[in-house]
């Protein structure tokens, strides 16, 4: 019998325990992998080369405070600014409060010059610019609600004392997020009484090299004003926006630690029972001339194989679920981009390998260092 066959035969000795152990590892690695995918999606948003050129200007105090719309003219004149668009978060309700999707009032002439990787048909863009109550919607949101060009969309005001009556004149795709709805900032101003404020300025810089200097220049320009600014990269702004949900990193890390700890206990107990049942066999193998290191390696290989089998099934299940389920629809627009990347698969495989090794070291070492006579006497 080969060594690999010997390992497989030992693993199959108690098939019920083998199935339960592999299932426990698979379920735990499945949950752990999903949690890491969620954590990556929330705290490490996807980006593009064009996104590295974009910076966001908001009120220094908080996102709830407004900026003056007249700041735009001063920003446009700054060296290194290619385009600037005003954006105001509307946060309205479409049919049901659970139907969340981002809604922004913007400058229709410049918004797709700032978000230049987003693709929209030229005739649709012209129709959007020409009509005061027109809107452009991302492809994911269009698909989610079954909308089509020309449909009327009524959005009830939740944050603002106004309701939107919009007509879909365009659909955009591409970029890092295909869920936004854009409508005219002038339409929002009209509904809100033209108070001369906006929420954000989204800016496209000429090159990544000038972004740090440009951020400092903008904040210095509006220092000591009635509405001081905080300028940050698009990536930093997105991470800061997600942080309002709470310390997700700490929460998910804590849950992951509990999963791993529980898995170590289960696997360690399983391997302890498996080794204890074959103390007599280990003693006989040593009596026949097998070195302690080789016996230890056989037990370690068995534990590692079981753990890796469970890890493989867990990762496979996670990959299938993430590919089959549209989390944007399931979460009603709360979560957009969840992807299982190779580095996350490698991390899960590493956890499974460490689990297989760590769970058998103590019981295997205890068994192989026991003398043959003592082991045979104990078994009897």
Rounded mean pLDDT of 285-302? 71
pLDDT of 46 > 80? The answer is no
pLDDT for 280: 67
What pLDDT shows up at residue 164?
Answer: 93
Do 298 and 358 fall into the same domain? yes
Res 237: pLDDT: 81
Give the per-residue pLDDT at 263.
75
Residues 304 and 159 in one domain: no
- Each residue of 107-145: b (16+ CB within 10 Å) or e? bbebbbebbbebebeeebbebbbeeeebbbbbebbbebb
High-pLDDT (> 90) share of the chain, %: 34
pLDDT tens readout for residues 244-270: 555 667 777 788 788 877 777 777 777
- pLDDT bin (cut points 50, 70, 90) of residue 379 is very low
Please state the pTM of the whole predicted model.
Answer: 0.68
Q: Has residue 65 got a pLDDT over 50? A: yes
Asked whether residue 61 is assigned to any structural domain, the reply reads no
The answer, yes or no, to whether residue 104 has pLDDT greater than 90, is: yes
Return the bridge partners of 94, or none.
Answer: 96
Per residue in 133-142, pLDDT tens?
A: 999 999 989 9
Task: Give the position of tokens 């997700």.
Answer: 248
pLDDT one-digit tens code per residue, 189-218: 999 988 889 999 999 999 988 999 999 999
Domain ranges, residue 192: 66-226
CB 68 within 8 A of CB 197: yes
Residues 23 and 88 occupy one common structural domain: no
**185 and 253 part of one domain:** no
DSSP β-ladder status, 67-68 and 197-198: antiparallel
Alpha helices by DSSP H, listed for the chain, are 3-11, 15-43, 71-76, 111-114, 122-130, 139-145, 185-192, 211-221, 234-243, 248-277, 279-287, 292-324, 327-330, 342-368, 372-379
Whether residues 197 and 267 share a domain: the answer is: no
Residue 11 maps to a domain:
yes
The encoded tokens of residue 156 equal 């009830």
Length of the chain as a residue count: 380
Write out pLDDT tens, residues 118-162: 899 999 999 999 999 999 999 989 988 999 999 999 999 888 889
Residue 334 located in a structural domain: yes
pLDDT digits (tens, 9 = 90+) for 27-45: 888 888 888 887 777 666 5
Say if 325 falls within a structural domain: yes
Domain identity same for 94 and 172 = yes
Nearest by Cα to 339 from 42, 47, 37? 37
> Is there a single domain that holds both residue 72 and residue 215?
yes
Structure confidence at residue 230 as a pLDDT band (50, 70, 90): very high
Mean pLDDT is highest, among 235-249, 254-268, 278-292, 341-355, for 341-355
Asked if residue 343 and residue 204 are part of one domain, the reply reads no
pLDDT band of residue 12 (cuts 50, 70, 90) is low
Last residue of a domain, one of 196, 226, 256: 226
Domain finish residue from 197, 226, 255: 226
> What pLDDT shows up at residue 283?
67
| pLDDT(187) > 90 | yes
Rounded percentage of the chain residues whose pLDDT exceeds 70: 79
Is the same domain home to 222 and 250? Answer: no
User: Mean pLDDT, the chain, as a whole number?
Assistant: 82
Residue 113, domain member (yes or no) = yes
Q: Is residue 238 part of a domain?
A: no
Domain count within the chain: 2
Per the model's pLDDT, the better-predicted residue between 81 and 49 turns out to be 81
- Of 297 and 136, more confident: 136
Assess whether 158 and 280 both reside in one domain.
no
Whose tokens are 């009484």? That residue is 193
Q: Is residue 235 part of a domain?
A: no
Q: Does one domain contain both 366 and 255?
A: yes
Examine residue 120 and state whether it is found in any structural domain, yes or no: yes
Which of 161, 196, 226 terminates a domain? The answer is 226
Whether the CB-CB separation of 214 and 76 falls below 8 Å is answered with: no
Q: Do 365 and 263 lie in a common domain? A: yes
Separation of alpha carbons 170 and 149, rounded Å: 7
């Amino acid at each position: 019998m080969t060594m690999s066959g010997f390992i497989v035969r030992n693993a199959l000795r108690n098939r019920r325990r083998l199935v339960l152990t592999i299932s426990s590892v698979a379920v735990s690695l499945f949950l752990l992998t999903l949690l890491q995918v969620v954590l990556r999606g929330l705290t490490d948003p996807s980006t593009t080369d064009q996104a590295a050129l974009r910076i966001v200007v908001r009120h220094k105090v908080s996102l709830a405070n407004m900026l003056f719309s007249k700041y735009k003219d001063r920003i446009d004149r700054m060296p290194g600014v290619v385009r600037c668009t005003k954006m105001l978060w509307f946060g309205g309700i479409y049919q049901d409060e659970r139907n969340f999707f981002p809604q922004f009032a913007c400058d229709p002439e410049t918004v797709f010059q700032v978000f230049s990787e987003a693709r929209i048909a030229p005739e649709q863009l012209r129709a959007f610019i020409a009509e005061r109550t027109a809107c452009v919607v991302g492809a994911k949101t269009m698909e989610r609600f079954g909308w089509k060009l020309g449909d009327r969309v009524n959005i009830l005001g939740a944050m603002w004392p106004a309701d939107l009556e919009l007509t879909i004149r365009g659909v955009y795709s591409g970029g890092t997020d295909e869920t936004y709805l854009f409508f005219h900032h002038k339409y929002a101003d009209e509904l809100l009484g033209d108070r001369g404020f906006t929420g954000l300025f989204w800016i496209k810089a000429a090159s990544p090299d000038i972004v740090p200097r440009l951020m400092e220049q903008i904040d210095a320009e509006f220092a000591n004003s009635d509405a001081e600014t905080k300028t940050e990269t698009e990536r930093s702004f997105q991470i800061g926006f997600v942080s309002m949900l709470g310390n997700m990193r700490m929460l998910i890390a804590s849950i992951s630690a509990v999963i791993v700890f529980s898995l170590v206990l289960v696997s360690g107990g399983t391997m302890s029972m498996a080794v204890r049942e074959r103390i007599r066999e280990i003693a006989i193998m040593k009596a026949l001339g097998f070195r302690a290191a080789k016996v230890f390696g056989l037990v370690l290989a068995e534990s590692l194989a079981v753990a890796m089998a469970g890890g493989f099934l867990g990762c496979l299940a996670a990959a299938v679920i993430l590919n089959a389920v549209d989390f944007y629809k399931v979460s009603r627009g709360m979560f957009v981009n969840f992807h299982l990347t190779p580095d996350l698969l490698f991390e899960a495989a590493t956890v499974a390998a460490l689990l297989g090794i760590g769970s058998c070291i103590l019981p295997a070492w205890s068994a192989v260092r026991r003398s043959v006579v003592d082991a045979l006497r104990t078994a009897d």
